[in-house]
Structures are given as C-alpha cells and as structure tokens.
Amino acid sequence: MAAIEQIAANRSFGGWHRRYRHTSAVLGCDMQFAVYLPPQVEQGERLPVLYWLSGLTCTDENFMQKAGAQRLAAELGLVIVAPDTSPRGAGVPDDPDGAWDFGLGAGFYVNATQQPWAAHYRMYDYVVSELPALVEANFPVTAQRSISGHSMGGHGALVCALKNPGRYQSVSAFAPISNPSNCPWGQKALGNYLGPERDSWKAWDTCELLAQASERLPLLVDQGEDDSFLAEQLQPEALQAAAERVGHPLTLRRQPGYDHSYYFIASFIDDHLRHHARALGRPG
C-alpha cells in the first residue's frame, strides 16, 4: 500500500481537516490532497466520500478554506476529499508562457496523450482510480462515492461520473465548463493534452458524453448569472440542450447576481451536500 504522510491537521467542527503528501505512480510526482473527516469517524463509523475537484489555479486548499462545507458535512457524516488540480513539482512541464489556464493548476482531469504532457498529466486516472484506492485503504470510509467540483472541476466531476456508470452515487457541479470542445479554455487544454484531432476530445466533453451515457445519474448544477465566464467558457445552455436531447435528468439552477467566486460556492454548497448525502444514504 502506498504511503501517505500527514503534513497538516486542524480540528474543524468536531472533526479534522488533514492534509497529506504521497507519491503518485499515475502522475509520476509527489502530490498533496486534503481530507475532511467528520466527527462520526471518531465514533468508529465508516463513512462515504465526496470528492471535490477544484478549478483553474487552485490546490487542495481553496475549497477547504473557503467553501464552508465542513459545518454540514460534520452534521451529515460526509468525508470530503479535495485533490490538487494538476501534477506538480520538478520535471512536470508547465505552459511555456506560464499562463494560468493551462499546465500547472490546470490538468483538466484528462489523460494526456501528447508530449510533453503525457508522462504526468493523467489527472483523470488519478482522480477516478489512484486517489480513491489510496483513500479507501487509509481512512475509515466505505466504497460509496460522490463527486462535485467547480468550473474546470465541475467539468471534471461531470466527466468522471458520466464515464464511469455505477462508480459514483451522485454528481453535481458549480459553474462547470460544460462543453470544453467549444470554448477557449477547453480548446487550449484539449488541443495540447490530446492533440488537434477534435474527435479525440469527445471522450472528455460533458455535452458529448451525455449522448452515450448508459447511466442517467441526475445532474445538479448551479450557475451564477453574473459569472464573468458564463457565455464564453461555461455555456450552461449547451449542457441543457445536450441533456434535453437524450432526456438526461438535469437540475440547472441559474442564480441571479452570483459570480464565479467561492462566495457563490459557499452560498449553495449546503444544497449540494444534501443532494449527495441523500444518494449516499446519510440521514439529513
């Protein structure tokens, strides 16, 4: 079993926020992740896990510090795991211009096929397989999993769930990049990680995956109407159209006045936690 090393611990709402470092075989580098362990863990309960995927530029810390999720997670008995958003460290290539929307902090939750990215940028395999195996081996959790995320991480959550029927009990997203094949962030990332052949992008695009999904897991999506990335990058109307074409259950909530920040996420995280808790069989 791969070793994990604790690098921080903070008591939080009767449970623990803890950060760990480990060597990722999938990503070929050391990675850090954060775990919120609610108080029921200390009473010997095994709990289900919500995986949270963050957006561009984030690390494991943003969600844990800013979303205010621990209060209700403690009440519901949900473990939350927040990975980093890309491989990191010596030898991991970055955007040649140092841009914030590609490379470090922007792994896009795909498995890269193109050089120089393919050796390290395999965040999809990391999030779907390696990290859950590590979590399930090291913490008192069940194999019940849910997944959520924000922006690039909303895209990641939807893609991970749609590509793996049966693996997640529920899925949700905040302001996801719904149709990366058709927006600048997505085209840059997919074009570099997967190459210019657009057919190869379809396996990583929620709007494409919805058409073939064999499992119709309901999607809960919140989107701020004053999000500055709304029209160009996020395109919730494409998500809505793709879901309607195949009758995929989608609850898309447009929230007037809200932007792309963690103030938006914090305002609605409780609804998402309750959505996941219901699917995971937690009371509340």
Q: Which of 255, 271, 274, 278 binds a second copy (CB under 8 A)?
A: 255
Residue 221 backbone dihedrals phi, psi, to 5 degrees: -130, 130
Binding part of the chain for a second copy, among 110-118, 142-150, 211-219, 264-272 by CB under 8 A, reads 264-272
Per rule CB under 8 A, is residue 228 in the interface with a second copy?
Answer: no
Q: Is 272 labeled as catalytic in the residue annotation? A: no
Q: Look up 227 and say whether it is catalytic.
A: yes
Closest CA to 131 of 160, 104, 154: 160
Helix (H) or strand (E) segment spanning residue 243: helix 236-246
Helix, coil or strand: residue 224: strand
Instruction: Please give the Cα distance from 179 to 11 (Å, whole number).
Output: 39
Catalytic residue among 151, 172, 178, 181: 151
Q: What type of residue sits at position 42?
A: E
| Cβ(150)–Cβ(54) below 8 Å | yes
Which of 51, 102, 229, 264 is close enough to bind a second copy by CB under 8 A?
264
The residue from 95, 125, 136, 259 that contacts a second copy (CB under 8 A) is: 259
- Using CB under 8 A as the criterion, what x/- string covers residues 74-103 for binding a second copy? ------------------------------
* Cα 226 to Cα 264: distance, rounded to the nearest angstrom: 10
Q: Is 129 a catalytic residue?
A: no
Measured between alpha carbons, how far is residue 229 from residues 77, 196, 246 in Å? 34, 24, 26
Six-digit token string for 138: 């090291």
Residues 11-30 that bind a second copy (CB under 8 A): 11-14, 17
Nearest distance in Å: CB 171, a second copy: 24
Size of the site for a second copy (CB under 8 A): 24
Binding site for a second copy (CB under 8 A): 10-14, 17, 65-66, 68, 70-71, 224, 226, 255, 257-259, 261-264, 266-267, 270
